[in-house]
Amino acid sequence: MTPEMSPVAEEHAGRAPMDLLRFATAGSVDDGKSTLIGRLLLDSKSIFEDQLEAVEATSHSKGYDYTDLALLTDGLRSEREQGITIDVAYRYFATPTRKFIIADTPGHIQYTRNMVTGASTADLGLVLVDARQGLTEQSRRHAVLLSLLRVPHLVLAVNKMDLVDYDESVYEKIHNEFTQFATKLNIPDLEVIPISALKGDNVVTRSEEMPWYHGPTLMHHLEHVHVASDRDLVDVRFPVQFVVRPKSDEFHDYRGYAGQVAGGVIKKGDEVVVLPSGMTSTVEAIDMFDNEIDEAFPPMSVTVRLADDVDVSRGDMIARVNNAPKPSQDIDAMICWMINEPLRPRQKLAIKHTTRMGRALVKDIQYRLDVNTLHRDQDTKELGLNEIGRIQLRTTVPLLCDPYSKNRTTGSFILIDEASGVTVGAGMINSGS
């Protein structure tokens, strides 16, 4: 069973549906991210005995008087020591309640592009702070980035409470300071949890050392945070990825349009429009694996069959007749620049939006955003590596887009260098016309 399998698919496969939560971790170096992930894997029984024995043996050989759970996940640390480019590491585990995908993102400012990559699909952002250090510039920067990426749920984990003697006043000071800072950001749901990843306090089991804390443990919050309503289930958006034509005796006249539902609920019998052509039809059937289903919703991957033989190809979008996105070629967007060569006005790049490809001209750079202070530098003439700014684009093909604040799938795009094929930027659409 793949992580992307939807509850409907699991029901068809004869299993009880299980929810999926994607969350991204962020924190400064040595705030304990690797140890926390190791603790979640250990206490949720998601590692094998021989893995634990190997970690225990390595910890003993290094002279530690404890089992270093960071060794379970610290591939990134060895990369850092070797001077290799640091990338996002993905970890997978499950409990009886829910499946999880962790995007373990680097903390340094020079890896902002990696954090943007890891958090762009996250349902929840987990920011760690060291209780001894309190809020740092990096803590605030991570919160700003998660807010900018519209990650709907945020957890501030105040780690290493064991090193401050589980002092409630230390927790309250950090809690109040961060809550006040968060009022400047777009964070719909915030939870602040005091933990010790090394000792296991309030990670999976409730801590006896902090009787003054009455909130949930980290695992309980991760298992029960409600994410289904975060997705747009009103505006139908179905980017066509592939036209299915088997041309076999068994499926002689079969024509279906495969893709992943980006928004809304598609039902059999719905009247739909195909964009950008504007041709209308009716949903005749929705197929998933070997079964026909009655409805599909994000993030299910399905094949849609239409009642009429209309011209549909990759890059087109199926939407409801009275609720369709307006095709746009002038795009206003926030961009995270990802390469050393700076982004400048008049630059020409390839653009990929959902399943649609085109070319784009950078008309203007309006400002560069300082993610530490939220200051807008309107005098900037270019964007450098890891910098975020607001730009204006003109595309050669109309994009079937929504504002990123409304739909993170149809509101995002990537920019590609046409000569090298390298992804050079990731964008979040403010509006289009």
Total structural domains within the chain: 3
Each residue's pLDDT tens digit, 235-267: 999 999 999 988 766 677 789 999 999 999 999
* pTM (global) more than 0.75: yes
Q: What HEC string does the chain produce?
A: CCCCCCHHHHHHCCCCCCEEEEEEEEECCCCCHHHHHHHHHHHCCCCCHHHHHHHHHHHHHCCCCCCCHHHHCCHHHHHHHHCCCCCCEEEEEECCCEEEEEEECCCCHHHHHHHHHHHCCCCEEEEEEECCCCCCHHHHHHHHHHHHCCCCEEEEEEECHHHHCCCHHHHHHHHHHHHHHHCCCCCCEEEEEECECCCCECCCECCCCCCCCCCCCHHHHHHHCCCHHHCCCCCCEEECCEEECCCCCCCCCCCEEEEECCECCEECCCEEEEECCCEEEEEEEEEECCEEECEECCCCEEEEEECCCCCCCCCCEEEECCECCCEEEEEEEEEEECCCCCECCCCEEEEEECCEEEEEEEEEEEEEECCCCCCEECCCCCECCCCEEEEEEEEEEEEECCCCCCCCCCCEEEEECCCCCCEEEEEEEEEEC
Domain end marker among 203, 229, 255: 229
| Same domain assignment for residues 292 and 170 | no
What is the per-residue pLDDT for 267?
Answer: 95
Rg from Cα positions in the chain: 24
Structural domain contains residue 1? no
**Pairing mode, if any, of strands 412-416 and 89-94?**
unpaired
| Same domain assignment for residues 277 and 387 | no
CB distance 401 to 356 below 8 Å: no
For residue 268, name the pLDDT band (cuts at 50, 70, 90).
very high
Structural domain contains residue 376? yes
Residue 229 has pLDDT above 80, yes or no: no
Q: In Å, how far are 259, 261, 320, 410, 432 from 323, measured between CA atoms?
A: 19, 15, 5, 14, 16
Each residue's pLDDT tens digit, 102-129: 888 776 666 677 788 888 889 999 999 9
For residue 37, name the pLDDT band (cuts at 50, 70, 90).
confident
| Same domain assignment for residues 404 and 336 | yes
| Same domain assignment for residues 342 and 275 | no
Domain end marker among 278, 298, 320: 320
| Same domain assignment for residues 194 and 334 | no
| Same domain assignment for residues 198 and 311 | no
| Same domain assignment for residues 76 and 216 | yes
Report the percentage of the chain scoring pLDDT > 70.
82
**How many C-alpha atoms does 340 have within 13 Å on its Cβ side?**
0
| Same domain assignment for residues 35 and 140 | yes
**Cα angle, residue 60 at apex, residues 55 and 61 outer, rounded to 5°:** 100
Each residue's pLDDT tens digit, 362-403: 999 999 998 877 889 999 999 998 899 999 999 999 999 999
Each residue's pLDDT tens digit, 135-169: 988 888 888 889 988 999 999 999 999 999 999 99
Instruction: Compute the distance between CA of residue 362 and CA of residue 350 in angstroms, rounded to an integer.
Output: 11
What range does the domain containing 281 cover?
238-320
| Same domain assignment for residues 305 and 338 | no
Neighbours of 205 (CB within 10 A): 12
